[in-house]
Amino acid sequence: MITLIHGGEGYLVDRAARDLVEPLRTGLTLEFNYEDIQADALTADAFAEKAGTLPFIDSLRVLVLRDWGLLAGKRDKGAGAERAAAYLEGIPDTTHLIVVAHVLVAPGNALYRTITAMEKDKRARIQRYEPPRRSDRAGWVRKLAEERGLTITPAAVRVLLERSQPDLRLLDQEIAKLAMYSLPSTRIDEEAVRALVSDSREEEIFALTDSLGSGRPGEVAGVLQSLLDAGREPTWLLYTLVSHWRRLIQARAVRDRGGSLADLQAKLSDHPFVVEKAFRQAIDYSAADLDQGFHDLLRIEEQIKLGELDARLAVEGFILEQVLSTAG
């Protein structure tokens, strides 16, 4: 049997691999019959040797290849993927091959085509895991909490998603910390999230949007570079910009109706500091510009998920457009 586990959501990929590998490994008599390889540079010939090795005493040999370069299209000289695919078709029934890829494998890859064909004959199976859509994130937070024997209130879910990166691994880590914080209770409420989960991302994104409003490209570039140097992922920047843009649109609408900061604070449940900053910044944008920017961000997010855009280049391009429009 051959199992390919791949996709852009590394947390789900790792969970699926763990859930498959652990019982197989536990069922082996000899550790000799289990091999787990970081396969970045594994050649087709080396793969054929490992995949063709017969088990000893046990009836099965388990071979795990992680992030195989040939599957991802890396270091593929001399038609390595094609040769490995030919070897794949002849893999003995005594080998359970598990291929783990933390990227979405291209359908045109020779190995992927072979595995797909073998899946039709029930000799292989493919599991794909992509980051959940924004509308599904709340459900995942509840699921992650339930897996730890916890309940989490709707308000706590909302605040956690506002304050955390849209990454399931990081969300799971935050829930683990919240579980310890809430002991002996098994209920996580909004107060616990606000007390424990840092909201420093808001200050960082305000620094970026403040610089955007300045119309000075050099200042914007400096703030953006400092965020990236600090380890902020471009996908995090994009997600946070989407959330902030939504607040700016609401703030602009309140201003256009002649409303006050108090009116906006009554409308939004965010921290008063966050609402005040959004109210102040909204004056630098027209309603039309904010609407266009918001739809641009949503389009960029979708294209990144589909693998059509590089996240960093997309975020930098969006910010550059904002600077140019402000300067103009």
Structure tokens at 15: 């969970």
Looking at the structure, tell me whether residues 44 and 114 fall in a common domain.
yes
Q: pLDDT value at position 300?
A: 84
Alpha carbon distances (Å) from 71 to 34, 39, 100, 189, 207: 21, 10, 10, 44, 41
Provide the CATH number for the domain around residue 217. 1.20.272.10
Residue finishing a domain among 92, 110, 128: 128
Looking at the structure, tell me whether residues 227 and 272 fall in a common domain.
yes
Looking at the structure, tell me whether residues 35 and 102 fall in a common domain.
yes
Residue 323 has a CB neighbour count (10 Å cut-off) of 22
Coil, strand or helix at 134 = helix
Residue finishing a domain among 128, 145, 173: 128
Looking at the structure, tell me whether residues 241 and 323 fall in a common domain.
yes
For residue 119, the enclosing domain spans 2-128
Looking at the structure, tell me whether residues 30 and 145 fall in a common domain.
no
Q: pLDDT value at position 107?
A: 84
Residue 222 has a CB neighbour count (10 Å cut-off) of 12
Q: pLDDT value at position 20?
A: 92
Looking at the structure, tell me whether residues 168 and 211 fall in a common domain.
no
Structure tokens at 328: 């103009």
pTM comes to 0.56
Looking at the structure, tell me whether residues 110 and 64 fall in a common domain.
yes
Q: How many angstroms separate the most distant Cα atoms in the chain?
A: 80
Looking at the structure, tell me whether residues 14 and 106 fall in a common domain.
yes
Looking at the structure, tell me whether residues 188 and 271 fall in a common domain.
no
Helices (H) and strands (E) in the chain, counts: 16, 7
Q: pLDDT value at position 265?
A: 78
Looking at the structure, tell me whether residues 174 and 212 fall in a common domain.
no
Q: What is the pLDDT of residues 203-235, one digit of tens each?
A: 666 667 666 655 566 666 777 777 776 666 777
| Number of domains making up the chain | 3
Q: pLDDT value at position 271?
A: 61
Provide the CATH number for the domain around residue 53. 3.40.50.300
Q: pLDDT value at position 281?
A: 81
**CA torsion angle 32 83 69 19 (round to 10):** -50
Provide the CATH number for the domain around residue 157. 1.10.8.60
Q: Residue ranges of the chain with pLDDT lower than 50?
A: none
Q: pLDDT value at position 202?
A: 57
Q: To the nearest 5 percent, what fractions of the chain are helix, strand and coil?
A: 65, 10, 25
Q: pLDDT value at position 214?
A: 54
Residue finishing a domain among 128, 147, 180: 128
Looking at the structure, tell me whether residues 151 and 270 fall in a common domain.
no
Helix (H) or strand (E) holding 133: none
Looking at the structure, tell me whether residues 123 and 6 fall in a common domain.
yes
For helices 272-281 and 234-256, the axis angle rounded to 10 degrees is 70
Q: What is the pLDDT of residues 256-295, one digit of tens each?
A: 988 888 888 787 766 666 778 788 888 878 888 888 888 8
Residues in the chain, total: 328
Q: pLDDT value at position 223?
A: 72
